[in-house]
């Protein structure tokens, strides 16, 4: 819903501020919970070989550094634009603003691709036997159809799915508590390290991948314009949501490594299903697989909806070729943008697995986060009239350094991840220059406004 603002010139509209702190908290938790923990527990276990919960703890601490930058910037500029807005305000370089926005876009597509691979794995295998790629392609097709139909996710649906996702994780935690009380499992395994590359590099590599499970908190900035009191509510909801998710994740990770050996976790595309299957506390594996499919599927669906609308929005503003702004005459959906984003996702699904697609997502967003952390320091000179949260200077400064360190190859990230990320960004660069050349030939070059959009 929007409120009309009457003033000089044409009538403008702003989003209605209807979201309170509790709903905002649930949204942050719901955005974080999902494919990451359901699909990547085993991959993270491969880095540390035992104390699986440690990388999740370290990832939470490091994510909190960047979260402090977002908390300050959202309170300072309560607008639904996110990292691109902050980069534009801080540096005012249209190409940099575009690259930041495009990196966020591509991170959504790679995240959805990782989720699609997870969807087509062992969780789906509880119901039907299909090759992982086939299952992932079928899922992408369903996502495309839903997207084409014009169905959008509401806050109420997000809350319901959050409850379902959280319930599945609480089942795993309950299994862990039962195992501890009944003397089952091997708790010592959850306290030991057996990393292939040493403790430091093992934890660092595991943390870089576990970071994927905590992503999503940055999406909540898009609710800034609809929050009742973003200056007060957003920081509390953001840090509270991260803390709740971190506690759940560490408990799940402890349970997983206590009950299932590392090699089994590493080789499974449905690692939490392995936990349910060996639990002394009976819970139907098929029911848990269904919960996991909902959690993983919701992650992919939200990311692809976001990605297609972002491409459409860029095309409407003349930032990328306007063909991507084409809307279907009967369904009123951005069908060209949908085809473009699903096409890229299909290529990624065919050429990567869950682990390296998640790593690509993390790599892209680490670069964005580094930019946001620098932006908050640059924008300290920009004063606003209202009160807002102000992060201690050391937090975004350290956050920028940490993000850049985690983006380096010595964390164990493969060369294919850097190549994939480079190719995806190169696609954006090509679109940018093709669009600029085309508009230059027409004598109509867009200029990026203070909101990070191009003026038509």
Tokens of 412: 């164990």
pLDDT band at 451 (very low <50, low <70, confident <90, very high): very low
Q: Give every CB contact of residue 404 below 8 A, 6+ residues apart in sequence.
A: 366, 370
pTM, entire model = 0.83
Query: Which residues lie across from 454 on neighbouring strands?
Result: 448
- Domain boundaries along the sequence of the chain: 18-455
Q: What is the pLDDT of residues 98-114, one digit of tens each?
A: 899 899 889 989 998 99
Q: What does the DSSP 8-state code read for residue 318?
A: T
Domain 18-455 has CATH 1.20.1740.10: yes
Q: Tokens 């010139």 belong to which residue?
A: 9
Lowest mean pLDDT among 115-124, 425-434, 446-455: 446-455
Nearest Cα to 76, choosing from 371, 375, 366?
375
Residue 17: per-residue pLDDT: 58
Lowest mean pLDDT among 295-299, 346-350, 392-396: 295-299
CA distance 140 to 143: 5
Q: What is the pLDDT of residues 339-385, one digit of tens each?
A: 999 999 999 999 988 888 999 999 999 999 999 999 999 998 888 77
Residue 209: per-residue pLDDT: 85
What is the maximum span of the chain, computed from C-alpha positions, in angstroms? Answer: 75
Compute the Cα dihedral for 253, 255, 256, 261 and give only its sign.
positive
Q: What are phi and psi of 347, to 5 degrees?
A: -65, -45
Q: CB of 109 within 8 A of CB of 344?
A: yes
Cα dist. 439→39, 205, 432 in Å?
44, 44, 11
Q: CB of 52 within 8 A of CB of 264?
A: no
CA distance 26 to 149: 27
Average pLDDT, the chain: 81
Question: Is residue 78 over pLDDT 80?
Answer: no
Mean pLDDT value across residues 384-396: 85
Q: Tokens 């069908």 belong to which residue?
A: 335
């Amino acid at each position: 819903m929007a409120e009309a603002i009457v003033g000089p010139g044409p009538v403008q509209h702003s989003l209605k501020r209807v979201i309170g702190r509790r709903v905002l908290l649930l949204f942050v938790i719901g955005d974080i919970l999902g494919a990451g923990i359901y699909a990547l527990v085993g991959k993270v276990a491969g880095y540390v070989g035992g104390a699986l919960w440690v990388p999740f703890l370290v990832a939470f601490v490091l994510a909190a550094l960047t979260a402090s930058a977002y908390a300050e910037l959202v309170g300072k500029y309560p607008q639904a634009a996110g990292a691109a807005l902050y980069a534009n305000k801080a540096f005012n370089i249209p190409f940099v603003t575009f690259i930041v926005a495009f990196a966020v876009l591509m991170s959504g597509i790679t995240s959805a691709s990782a989720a699609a691979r997870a969807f087509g794995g062992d969780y789906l295998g509880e119901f039907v036997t299909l090759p992982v790629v086939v299952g992932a392609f079928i899922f992408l097709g369903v996502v495309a159809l839903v997207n084409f139909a014009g169905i959008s996710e509401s806050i109420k649906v997000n809350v319901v799915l959050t409850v379902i996702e959280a319930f599945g994780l609480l089942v795993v935690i309950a299994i862990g508590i039962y195992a501890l009380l009944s003397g089952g499992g091997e708790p010592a395994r959850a306290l030991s390290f057996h990393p292939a590359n040493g403790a430091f590099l093992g934890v660092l590599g595991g943390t870089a991948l576990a970071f994927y499970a905590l992503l999503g908190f940055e999406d909540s900035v898009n609710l800034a314009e609809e929050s009742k009191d973003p200056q007060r509510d957003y920081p509390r909801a953001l840090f509270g949501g991260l803390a709740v998710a971190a506690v759940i994740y560490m408990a799940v990770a402890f349970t997983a490594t206590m009950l299932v050996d590392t090699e089994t976790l590493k080789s499974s595309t449905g690692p939490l299903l392995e936990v349910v299957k060996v639990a002394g506390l009976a819970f139907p594996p098929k029911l848990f697989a269904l919960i996991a499919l909902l959690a993983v599927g919701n992650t992919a669906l939200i990311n692809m909806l976001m990605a297609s609308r972002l491409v459409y929005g860029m095309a409407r503003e003349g930032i990328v070729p306007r063909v991507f702004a084409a809307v279907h005459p009967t369904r009123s959906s951005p069908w060209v943008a949908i085809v473009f984003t699903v096409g890229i996702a299909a290529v990624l699904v065919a050429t990567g697995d869950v682990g390296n697609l998640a790593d690509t997502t993390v790599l892209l967003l680490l670069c964005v986060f580094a930019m946001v952390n620098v932006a908050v320091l640059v924008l300290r000179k920009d004063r606003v009239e209202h009160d807002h949260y102000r992060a201690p200077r050391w937090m975004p400064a350290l956050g920028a350094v940490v993000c850049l360190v985690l983006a380096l190859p010595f964390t164990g990230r493969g060369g294919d991840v850097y190549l994939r990320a480079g190719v995806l960004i190169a696609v954006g660069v090509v679109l940018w220059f093709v669009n600029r050349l085309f508009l230059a030939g027409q004598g109509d070059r867009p200029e990026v406004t203070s909101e990070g959009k191009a003026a038509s």
